[in-house]
């Protein structure tokens, strides 16, 4: 006999907590869901018509339940006190100082939220770790909760990692491949897992809700992201071979993907992966491996991140050499600043790295992205702690209102994000060509363009994973 959940609190109204708990509220109209955050501005926008994150379908989901059984609030304490079940969905950034700097996750926010729960709770709570965290975090949370619990108050800890991808968060949540719940292998642990499973069972078939021990659950999340990132680094490593030999990476990935053991998804070569999870989670895995005295394992996974850095550098080098080995004073139009299409998120976006490389070469850069906020771009490009950075930056970098404007008088267009609107069936590349300096170059870092069509217009086209002009035409050198 397990408890039926009536009130849920979600601590952290970010990219994970916001969409996830909005879908939970939509699918469980009889459960009260309160999403809380310390950031008052973020909560205000969750309560407005301009949600703080762009995600296809999210507006409809929020509108259906907000004010009915879905609430966004800064009243963290009250929501914790009232809830039967609490999702901890706070940020876990990579540490930049101290032990494990550059690798380990900073668990300060998780611990603060955990202590707050322990301090406030006057009734039993199921506490669910939702943020991606290193293995054994649930254990630490349990120790903190139990050491600070009021007499008679019981805490059960669950791990329930989220697998949604940005840009497809709502469809991923509504039709997940699986829901994973990790619990202690005790009667109480299993009962808590069953209570949470009931919430998901409102829309997810029972067979897809799987339970296991907490540590397996925590490691599965890191492992899944590591596998996915590894596929991209593998295909990107092969893209370098393609460029040097005359093979075409799209053909290679198609051929490989037809093997049912490999599968076709996540084999798209690119200028590099970005996003808040892949790099962070792999570095977490590297750090974990090193702490467990498994240096070979650490080295194996670290290579996935190294390859990703190499890909960004390699693509930049190809751009520089195509542009006659100098970018000084040249205008480069960047199409796309988000780390992938259909999101306004720029965390770890390859475009950030590329713009920094172009700046170092003294290029003038004009950036266009359909969803990223201007202020975000400036924040991403400023080096923290450098006072004069913004004025210097703005001498070299501008933000355009359209792809056409970005490409006006440019020497080259560089596609960094695979937005649908950049396809040659959507944008008028003849108009873009006419406005550019000649020879007009396009560098396709996302394999979104039809090379033949663009060449016919007059462009010099260089695509990731396809042989460059010099290989195709030896006289070009």
> Does residue 58 touch ligand UDX according to CB under 6 A?
no
Minimum distance from CB of 149 to ligand UDX (Å)?
31
Binding mask 243-282 for ligand ADP (x = CB under 6 A): ---------------------------------x------
Q: Is residue 146 a contact partner of residue 121, using CB atoms and an 8 Å limit?
A: no
Asked whether residue 42 is marked as a ligand-binding residue, the answer is yes
- Cβ closer to ligand ADP: 276 or 308? 276
Chosen residue from 23, 25, 76, 288 binding ligand ADP by CB under 6 A? 76
Catalytic position from the list 10, 21, 277, 416: 277
Asked whether residue 132 is marked as a ligand-binding residue, the answer is yes
Long-range CB contacts (within 8 A, 24+) of 391-400:
393/359, 396/359, 396/362, 396/363, 396/364, 396/365, 397/355, 397/359, 397/364, 397/365, 397/366, 397/367, 398/364, 398/365, 398/366, 398/367, 399/366, 399/367, 399/368, 399/374, 400/333, 400/366, 400/367, 400/368
Site residues for ligand ADP, 109-168, by CB under 6 A, read: 109, 112-113, 116, 131
> Does residue 463 touch ligand ADP according to CB under 6 A?
no
The maximal CA–CA distance of the chain, rounded, in angstroms, is 82
Angle between helices 350-360 and 374-381 (to 10 degrees): 60
Q: Is residue 218 a contact partner of residue 182, using CB atoms and an 8 Å limit?
A: yes
Distances (CA, A) of 401 to 333, 370, 404, 405, 417: 12, 8, 8, 7, 16
Give the sign of the dihedral formed by CA 91, CA 94, CA 100, CA 101.
negative
Binding mask 34-73 for ligand ADP (x = CB under 6 A): --xxxx--x-------------------------------
The binder of 11, among ligand UDX, ligand ADP, none, by C-beta within 5 to 8 A per type, is ligand ADP
Closest CA to 366 of 317, 328, 325, 409: 409
Minimum distance from CB of 47 to ligand UDX (Å)?
25
The binder of 112, among ligand ADP, ligand UDX, none, by C-beta within 5 to 8 A per type, is ligand ADP
Chosen residue from 14, 176, 272, 344 binding ligand ADP by CB under 6 A? 14
> Does residue 225 touch ligand UDX according to CB under 6 A?
yes
Helix (H, G, I), strand (E, B) or coil at 64: helix
The four Cα atoms 195, 196, 202, 207 give a dihedral, to 10 degrees, of -100
Helix ranges (DSSP H) in 28-87: 40-46, 58-65, 76-82
> Does residue 118 touch ligand UDX according to CB under 6 A?
no
Minimum distance from CB of 417 to ligand UDX (Å)?
8
| Strand pairing report for 85-88 and 7-11 | parallel
- Catalytic, 416? Answer no
Chosen residue from 12, 274, 275, 465 binding ligand ADP by CB under 6 A? 12
Chosen residue from 228, 249, 364, 427 binding ligand UDX by CB under 6 A? 228
> Does residue 233 touch ligand UDX according to CB under 6 A?
no
- Cβ closer to ligand UDX: 271 or 327? 271
Structure token pair of residue 452:
């033949």
> Does residue 69 touch ligand UDX according to CB under 6 A?
no
Asked whether residue 25 is marked as a ligand-binding residue, the answer is no
**Contacts with 35 (C-beta within 8 Å, 6 or more apart), sequence order:** 9, 10, 13, 17, 18, 21, 22, 46, 70, 71, 72, 73
Positions in the binding site for ligand ADP (CB under 6 A): 11-17, 36-39, 42, 76, 89-91, 109, 112-113, 116, 131, 276
Binding site for NAD(+), by residue number, is 12-17, 37, 42, 90-94, 131-132, 166, 277-280, 347
The residues carrying an active-site annotation are 277
Positions in the binding site for ligand UDX (CB under 6 A): 162-166, 225, 228, 232, 266-268, 270, 273-275, 277-278, 339-340
């Amino acid at each position: 006999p397990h408890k039926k959940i009536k009130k849920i609190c979600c601590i952290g109204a970010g990219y994970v907590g916001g969409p996830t708990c909005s879908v939970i509220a939509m699918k469980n109209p009889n459960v009260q869901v309160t999403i809380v955050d310390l950031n008052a501005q973020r909560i205000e926008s969750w309560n407005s018509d301009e949600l703080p994150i762009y995600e296809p379908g999210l507006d409809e989901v929020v509108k259906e339940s907000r004010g009915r059984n879905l609430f966004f609030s800064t009243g963290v304490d009250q929501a914790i006190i009232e809830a039967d079940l609490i999702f901890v969905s706070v940020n876990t950034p990579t540490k930049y100082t101290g032990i494990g700097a550059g690798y380990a996750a900073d668990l300060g926010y998780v611990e603060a939220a955990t202590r707050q729960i322990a301090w406030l709770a006057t009734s039993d709570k199921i506490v669910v770790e939702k943020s991606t965290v290193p293995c054994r975090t649930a254990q630490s949370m349990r120790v903190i909760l139990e050491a600070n619990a009021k007499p008679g108050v019981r805490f059960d800890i669950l791990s329930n990692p989220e697998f949604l991808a940005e840009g497809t968060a709502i469809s991923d949540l509504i039709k997940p491949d699986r829901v994973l719940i990790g619990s202690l292998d005790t009667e109480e642990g299993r009962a808590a897992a069953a209570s949470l499973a009931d919430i998901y069972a409102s829309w997810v078939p029972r067979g897809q809700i799987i339970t296991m021990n907490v540590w397996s659950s925590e490691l599965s999340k890191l492992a899944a992201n590591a596998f996915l990132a590894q596929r991209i680094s593998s295909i990107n490593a092969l893209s370098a071979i393609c460029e040097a030999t005359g093979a075409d990476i799209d053909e290679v990935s198609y051929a490989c993907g037809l093997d049912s053991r490999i599968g076709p998804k996540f084999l798209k070569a690119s200028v590099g992966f970005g996003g808040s999870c892949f790099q962070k989670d792999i570095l977490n895995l590297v750090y974990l491996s090193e702490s467990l005295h498994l240096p070979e394992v650490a080295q194996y996974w670290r290579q996935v991140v190294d390859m990703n850095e190499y890909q960004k550098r390699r693509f930049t080098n190809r751009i520089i050499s195509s542009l006659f080995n100098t970018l000084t004073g040249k205008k480069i139009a960047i199409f796309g600043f988000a780390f992938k299409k259909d999101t306004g998120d720029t965390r770890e976006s390859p475009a950030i790295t590329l713009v920094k490389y172009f700046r170092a070469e003294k290029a003038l850069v004009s950036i266009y992205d359909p969803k990223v906020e201007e202020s975000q771009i400036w924040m991403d490009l400023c080096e923290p702690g450098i006072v004069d950075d913004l004025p210097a930056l703005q001498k070299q970098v501008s933000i355009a209102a359209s792809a056409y404007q970005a490409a006006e008088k440019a020497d080259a267009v560089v596609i960094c994000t695979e937005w649908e609107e950049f396809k040659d069936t959507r944008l008028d590349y003849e108009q873009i060509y006419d406005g550019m300096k000649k020879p007009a170059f396009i560098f396709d870092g996302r394999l979104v363009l039809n090379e033949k069509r663009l060449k016919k217009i007059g462009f010099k086209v260089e695509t990731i994973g396809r042989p460059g002009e010099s290989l195709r035409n030896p006289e070009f050198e």
